[in-house]
Amino acid sequence: MSRPEEIGPPEIFYGDTEAKKYTANTRVQTIQAQMTDRALELLQLPPDESCFLLDIGCGSGLSGEILDEDGHVWVGCDISPSMLEVALEREVEGDLFLQDIGQGFGFRPGTFDGAISISVIQWLLNADASSHSPPQRLTRFFTTLHSALKNPSRAVFQFYPNSDDQVQLITSCAQKAGFGGGLVVDYPNSRKARKMYLCLMVGQQEIPKGLDGEEISDASTAKKREEIKNERRRRRDKGIKGKKGKKDLTAKEWILKKKDLYRTRGKEGVPRDSKFTARKRRVQF
């Protein structure tokens, strides 16, 4: 079967039908959760601390939900309007914006504590328009991302390259933008389980190892890693988020929360708060 990025541009491929189909697929949800967990592990964020993260190619918010579970605040961008519409319908917690990442970002320097991206950057290797140059788009993307990250920090990209040449192009553009780091390959000898992560670093840091054959000398580190994964799994199975969920709020608290969120996103026509907010209406016959 052809890969999605070989069929058409992402904003066209992920139309209304495909966006809903992708989000509802339980297999996709499981894989996205696993890869996001691994990306968070590679970010090596400070323990027990809420960080401000950028989710690049956030889609319908599947990876963002994992960030919520870990108690992080996040901003998500995607080029597909349909994917973002599904994310809004699902009432994800992150702020969302429509963006072609090949045009770069306009964030203030040092805005984010880290960034993740799941199955996205391979799309930048395609020239979907006559004006598109993959090397130029990759360079603009990595340069503006490097500026938006704090020092020290990391950005972790899970991606599916088609060839070693594509890997070389991506890594060389990242290095020219000022990033350090390199590739982390999990289970390199397994055709099914093999996953590739580009772990980029702002500031001097040590490149982590892949999972297959990794030797962890500190037993407490391995135990803690397993405990964190188990806790995330329990939360996911029970539908519990790191933040206060809808079930924990009164009807009025929930409505006020959503109105504040819509105002923050600049949505027009949000009704003002009053003593009648969330009050049940009388049924008239």
The domain segmentation of the chain, as residue ranges, is: 4-243, 246-285
pLDDT at 278: 81
Task: Give the span between the Cα atoms of 223 and 43, in whole angstroms.
Answer: 18
Handedness of CA 93, 97, 102, 108 (dihedral sign): negative
pLDDT at 282: 62
For 68, half-sphere exposure in the C-beta direction (CA atoms, 13 angstrom radius) is 19
Centre a 10 Å sphere on the Cβ of residue 15 and count the other Cβ atoms it contains. Answer: 15
Asked if 260 contacts 249 with a C-beta cutoff of 8 angstroms, the reply is: no
The length of the chain in residues reads 285
What pTM was estimated for this model as a whole?
A: 0.78
pLDDT at 229: 62
pLDDT at 202: 97
pLDDT at 216: 37
pLDDT at 242: 46
* DSSP notation for 184-216: EEESTT-TTT-EEEEEEEESS-PPPPPSTT---
Task: Give the span between the Cα atoms of 105 and 257, in whole angstroms.
Answer: 28
Which residue, 146, 148, 138, 132, is CA-closest to 171? 138
pLDDT in tens, 213-249: 443 334 444 455 566 666 666 665 655 444 455 556 7
Structure tokens at 107: 């964030």
Q: Which fold has domain 4-243?
A: Rossmann fold (3.40.50)
pLDDT at 215: 39
Report, as ranges of residue numbers, the positions in the chain whose pLDDT lies below 50: 213-222, 240-243, 285
Residue 88, C-beta contacts closer than 8 angstroms, at least 6 positions apart: 96
Task: Give the span between the Cα atoms of 240 and 234, in whole angstroms.
Answer: 8
Asked if 53 contacts 115 with a C-beta cutoff of 8 angstroms, the reply is: yes
Which region holds residue 59: left if phi is over 0, alpha if psi is between -120 and 50, else beta? left
What are the E-state strand segments in 47-111? Answer: 52-56, 73-78, 95-98
Asked if 265 contacts 87 with a C-beta cutoff of 8 angstroms, the reply is: no
Structure tokens at 97: 């914006």
